Amino acid sequence: MRYLPLTDTDRQEMLSVIGASSIDDLFVDVPAEARLSGQIEGLPDHASELAVERHMAALARKNLSAGEAPFFLGAGAYKHHVPASVDHLIQRGEFLTAYTPYQPEIAQGTLQVLFEFQTQVARLLGCDVANASMYDGSTACWEAIGMARRITKRGKALLSSGLHPHYVSVANTMAKFTGDVLEHESPTLDAATDIDALIASIDKDTSCVVVQYPDILGRIADLTPLADAAHAVGALLVAVVTEPVALGAIKAPGHMGADIVVGEGQSIGVGLQFGGPYLGLFACKQKYVRQMPGRLCGETLDASGKRGFVLTLSTREQHIRREKATSNICTNSGLCALAFSIHMTLLGEKGLRELAVLNHGLAVQAADRLAQVPGVTLLNDSFFNEFTLILSKDARDVVRALADKGVLAGVSLGRLFPTAPEIGNGLVVAVTETVTPEDIETLAKALEEELA
Amino acid sequence: MTMLKEGRPTAPQAVNDADTIPATATGNRALMLEEALIFEIGSTDTTGVDFADAPKVASRLGNLARTDGIGLPGLSEQETVRHYTRLSRQNYAIDLGLFPLGSCTMKHNPRLNEKVARMPGFADIHPLQPQSTVQGALAVIHELAAWLVTLTGMHSVAMSPKAGAHGELCGLLAIRAALEARGDARSVILVPESAHGTNPATAAFCGYKVEDIPATPDGRVDLEALKARLGPDVAAVMITNPNTCGLFERDMKTISDAVHAAGAFVYCDGANFNAIVGRVRPGDLGVDAMHINLHKTFSTPHGGGGPGSGPVVLSEALTPFAPLPFVEKQGDGFALVEEETADEHHASSFGRMVAFHGQMGMFTRALTYILSHGADGLRQVAEDAVLNANYVLRSLDDVLDAPFGGSGPCMHEALFSDKGLADGFTTLDIAKGLIDEGFHPMTMYFPLVVHGAMLVEPTETESKAALDQFILALRSLANRAKAGDEALKGAPYFAPRRRLDETLAARKPVLTWTEPALAQAAE
Amino acid sequence: MSRYFTDEHEWIDVAGDIATVGITDYAQEQLGDIVFVELPAEGTTFEKGDDAAVVESVKAASDVYAPISGEVVESNSALEDEPALVNSDAEEDGWFFKLRIADASELEGLMNEAAYKKFVASL
């Protein structure tokens, strides 16, 4: 077995040091009836590297990867070009095979990255502080709702109809157990978002309003009036960003009054990977930092007076507060945070803005071209790199039919909102820098055929 | 007031031995290079990425264009590579040497796993693609699930939890849903004092009151005390097995039977599954739910603090309540069961825990690891992990106090305490001394039930030569700490940083970088 | 004014119907460097034994219980900026909060300084 270095001679020598005659002697505390005498049945034995690679490659080939087809899916996960150096750097063993930086003297690499990451995220989202990351956008969103409850000591959250339906599902699952009351409705096919309706629903029992920006249909709205309305009754505004590249082009939620801004950071540096691992972003106003979940890295000095970094404010966390912790979260999404930070450093503000302009430009071109297809209407007045088309028939059937022709057309609202058939003709289309003018033309032609 | 937690010095004494080491103008020391922050060396006008020209279009951004400076510095590609390469060299890692962090299972991360995870067919597929285009991905999830169910002797597995603690949450939510389904509201979860902090945190999050189960002097759950506490208000017992003292809970089956007889469920923290994989099936011990840290037992990389992955194996009683989504074999292919189709045959599910389907990137790595080892290799994994830990225990128990050394063989980790060290010398000093000897320290001050605990988990991927060198280092440090060698209190001397001031960091938190002029103005 | 001590390592100064509460010098020494103190809001009422405040060192968070019942009339805002006061002057400037005493009989049975010293010596 290529990963196990002990030889049989080693094992014998070690057993004699221990004073045991056989390995079985070391398992004496396992009751006899629970001890397996031989190996577990029905499972194959070890295999060579070549054989395993062949098996896995065969499974990989059964998938149609995004790079092989005209590709327009978004809705919470986006295909962007990740520079080659990002993946090279995250595979350095000192990053890849390190543990959580509990021994800061020999983890300054990871810690400095986290400090830089926290600063990058806070600035991108327009907040004072950010943590070292959460599992993904959906769990970060739920944690924000819980944090708003702790701050306001109120248990009713209003979820915008434009919030990603899977984020809503996660929150609903958790709320069943925590007793939070969540108000939410499926979206309607309007060009305007539901901000006015949310403002009308806020009352003195509201802990927070949760709004996605741009929303699940790609619409963008100024959050300032919503923040003002929430603050007027002592409630918080939680903004959710699932496409952080957008913030290279549009105002940051923190600058429009959001108290907590969470997001899915997958877009920057982290590939699609069929949904995980992803990267939960979590930022807030300075005054709420002690109610924040998750790990935090802070600056300090060492005994000789040099600047260094440590994990800090850990009394909020489970390993110290145990049942009184702000969250049971134990890990962050460290390697994904590293990838995000490297990619963001490569981009810099200049590159991020260029990337955002390119995404928006291609998306506008695509929206205008697709809207010319008979049977297609563009829903959005405003959008960044993702918009919703209303088709003349059920979008889910169209998506499946186009997939059979090798075109990955977008995400149907039927897939996202199976219980809202009235919006089933909606198709959410994302257009990033990876889309070519030829891809747009291919999609337009394919839609034309399918809707004819 | 409560003062259950052990204090330890968190602000170092100032050291002043610079006069013996010549300074350099740059602060660098040969291969040990100091590295500034990107905010100090980068600029917002620099980028390491080139893009095609954007089409000229009229903006549709709803008059919300971002006009303020964002403050994100960029570096050229070469500078970026150098920045992160330099930073990486300030980290200890498994790739550098033995990483004996108890309870964390820091074993070698095979590179085939990385190669497989990066195959475009896995790395470059979208979670919402039509299912006909992701049959290979669904097959991976299904195949890994089958291995986990078989290895644990359980009934089913929930694959979507994102990490161990998230898996605990999944298990407890399933238990709570099962109790509610039978109209049996219960309010208490029993957790041993030696448990991971996530256990009580998770139980409290699920709305339960947490009560401690005492341990016997030999480091195991006190069966009689547990039995006495069981009653109609107890929803579940959370037990780590092998436990955090490195011991197998001999009475596990008896405990499970008693818990079931009282109408409650058994949650097992599977963090230490590495010690028994292939030799013991938790299903045979009466476990109802157990999370498996894929980053521990099945060697997906820890990545400096995640991402993890925490599938949860479930008993038949809990299976109907498992979360969505999951993968099911239907005919020749695989289908993803989500909210839409759940009602047909999974109506009792407690719902969704994450946006998509779990940590696919970790599933491909874990399955690759499992296929490489096979059933015979996995059994050898457990045997060698236990052998290595016992070798460390018996090679050191003459110089370090082993509080449960008389309780029989340890499993995959060896536990020592600070008993017998000279006055004023602590576990922390030994840990920092190990850094100078070229090792990552063991887990310190955990479990809480042992004073000054040192928990050593060598794992099966260490050679005897590596273990012998580690033993040599730890023996030397134990002897120095017992002899009162003051120099040890200044360790580490040779790391990129001396001991760091955690008190300062916590009293005046600086969590983001601020331009020096602004920082000064704020003071 | 008289000073009382609890076996939870709190001290209570009583002046009229107002009790000033803090943690003892022994307690601060055990906890190590104090980095944060979470204090109750004015107007909060406590039953004896309720969680009243949290005192944090880097590696530990400890609950401070209300030693007697009463309503909070003031918290020591100086601790917000300078938690180190608890280390440097636990039994004077490092006080936590003042309570309007609800039931003076609860003071009976608490220790005086000599008894507390003896109690600490026995630990």
pLDDT in tens, A103-157: 999 999 999 999 999 999 999 999 999 999 999 999 999 999 999 999 999 999 9
* CB nearest C10 (choices: B1, B7, B506): B1
Question: CB neighbours of B305 closer than 8 A, spacing ≥ 6?
Answer: A99, A100, A101, A110, A132, A295, A331, A332, A334
Looking at residue A106, its pLDDT comes to 97
Distances in Å between the Cα of A18 and the Cα atoms of A5, B409, C70 are: 19, 9, 61
Q: For residue A150, what are the CA distances in angstroms to A144, A153, A293?
A: 10, 5, 11
Handedness of CA B490, B491, B497, B501 (dihedral sign): negative
Measured between alpha carbons, how far is B302 from B104 in angstroms, rounded to an integer? 9
Give the pLDDT of residue C2.
85
Q: How many domains does chain C have?
A: 1
**Do the Cβ atoms of B409 and A419 come within 8 Å?**
no
Mean pLDDT of C81-85: 91
Q: A212 pairs with which residues across the strands?
A: A240
Of A326, B505, A314, nearest to C56 by C-alpha is A314
Within 8 A of C61 by CB-CB distance, chain B residues are 5
Asked if B132 lies within 8 A of A136 by C-beta distance, the reply is: no
Q: Is B469 on the interface with C (CB under 8 A)?
A: no
Enter the tokens of residue A119: 């600063």
**Residue A324: closest CA among chain C residues belongs to which residue?**
C61
The pLDDT of residue B7: 54
Contact B207 A177 (CB under 8 A): yes
- Are A98 and B91 a contacting pair at CB < 8 A? yes
> Would an 8 Å CB–CB cutoff place A290 in contact with chain C?
yes
C32:B10 CB<8 A: yes
- According to DSSP, residue A218 is labeled S
Work out the pLDDT band at A315, boundaries 50, 70, 90. Answer: confident
Model pLDDT, residue B353: 94
- Asked if B312 and B290 count as a contact pair (C-beta separation under 8 A), the reply is yes
B60:A55 CB<8 A:
no
Residue B168, both tokens: 């605990």
- Strand, coil or helix: what is A238? strand
Confirm if B462 and B101 have CB atoms less than 8 A apart.
no
Q: Which of A13, A114, A330 to mutate to test the interface with B (most CBs of B within 10 A)?
A: A330
Predicted pLDDT of residue B79: 98
Q: Is C109's pLDDT higher than 60?
A: yes
pLDDT at B331: 93
Q: DSSP string of A402-427?
A: HHHTT-B--EEHHHH-TT-GGGTTEE
- Taking alpha carbons only, the member of B127, B83, B132 closest to residue A266 is B127
User: Which of these, B329, B327, B326, B297, lies nearest to B310 by C-alpha position?
Assistant: B297
Domain that holds residue C85: 2-121
Using CB atoms, which chains have 3+ pairs under 8 A with A? B, C
Specify the pLDDT at position A33: 86
**B9 interfacial to chain A (CB closer than 8 Å):** no
Residue B112's alpha-carbon distances to A3, B363, C30, in angstroms, are: 11, 13, 50
- Tens-digit pLDDT profile for residues A325-362: 666 666 789 999 999 999 999 999 999 999 999 999 99
A324 shares contact with chain C (CB less than 8 Å): yes
Q: Does the beta carbon of C60 lie under 8 angstroms from any beta carbon of chain A?
A: yes
Chains that touch B (3 or more CB pairs under 8 A): A, C
- Whether residue A291 contacts residue A326, with contact meaning beta carbons closer than 8 Å, is answered with yes
Closest CA to C54 of C74, C25, C26, C31: C31
- Residue A76 CA to residue A153 CA, distance in Å, equals 30
Instruction: Tell me whether residues A321 and C36 touch, CB distance under 8 A.
Output: no
For C15-35, what is each residue's pLDDT tens digit? 999 999 999 999 998 888 999
Tell me if C30 and B8 make a contact (CB, 8 A cut-off): no
Residues of A in contact with B238 (CB under 8 A): none
Helix crossing, B198-205 with B164-181: angle to 10°? 40
Name the 3-class secondary structure at A111: helix
The alpha carbon of residue C10 is apart from the nearest alpha carbon of chain B, in Å, by: 7
d(CA C86, CA C90): 4
Report the SS3 class of residue B402. coil
The pLDDT of residue B339:
83
Minimal CA separation from A1 to chain B, in Å: 7
Task: Give the residue-averaged pLDDT of A87-109.
Answer: 97
Question: Mean of the pLDDT values across residues A189-208?
Answer: 96
List, as ranges, residues 19-78 from A with C-beta within 8 Å of B.
Answer: 19-20, 23, 25-31, 33-36, 39-40, 42-47, 49, 52-53, 55-68, 71, 73, 75-77
Q: What is the 8-class DSSP label of residue B288?
A: S
- Which of B5, B514, B389 lies closest to A20, judged by CA? B389
pLDDT in the model for residue B71: 97
Report mean pLDDT in 10-residue bins for chain B, 523 residues.
61 74 88 95 97 96 95 98 98 97 94 98 97 97 97 96 92 95 94 84 88 90 94 96 91 96 96 93 96 95 92 97 94 91 86 94 98 96 97 97 92 96 96 97 90 95 98 98 96 96 93 83 59
pLDDT at B6: 55
Put simply, the answer to whether B502 touches C64 (Cβ < 8 Å) is no
Asked whether the whole model's pTM tops 0.90, one would answer yes
> Shortest CB distance from A320 goes to which of C36, C38, C61?
C61
Minimal Cβ distance to B505: which of A34, A52, A310 = A310
Q: C30: distance to nearest CA of chain A, Å?
A: 16
- Looking at residue B520, its pLDDT comes to 66
| Cβ-based contacts of A85 with chain B (< 8 Å) | 48, 77, 80-81
Residue A186: what residue type?
S
Residue A428's nearest CA partner among A167, A169, A75, A138 is: A75
Q: Which of C58, C63, C65 to mutate to test the interface with A (most CBs of A within 10 A)?
A: C58
Question: Does the beta carbon of A299 lie under 8 angstroms from any beta carbon of chain B?
Answer: yes
Give the CATH number, domain containing residue C63.
Answer: 2.40.50.100
Of B1, B4, B11, the CB nearest to C8: B1
Residues 214-273 of A with CB under 8 A from B: 220-222, 247-252, 255, 264, 271-273
Q: Does A342 touch chain B (CB under 8 A)?
A: yes
- Side-chain-side CA neighbours of A64 within 13 Å: the count stands at 17
* Interchain contact, C9 vs B506, CB within 8 Å: no
Q: Please report the sign of the dihedral spanned by the C-alpha atoms of residue B169, residue B171, residue B175, residue B180.
A: positive
Short-list A377, A371, A426, A369, CA closest to A398: A426
Would you say residue C59 has pLDDT above 80? no
Please state, in angstroms and rounded to a whole number, the distance separating the CA atoms of residues A424 and A401: 15
User: Residue A303: its chain B contacts at CB < 8 A?
Assistant: 12-15, 490, 498-501
Looking up tokens 């609890």 gives C6
Taking CA–CA distances from A264, the nearest residue in chain B reads B355
Flag if A320 and C60 touch (Cβ within 8 Å). Answer: yes
pLDDT at A397: 97
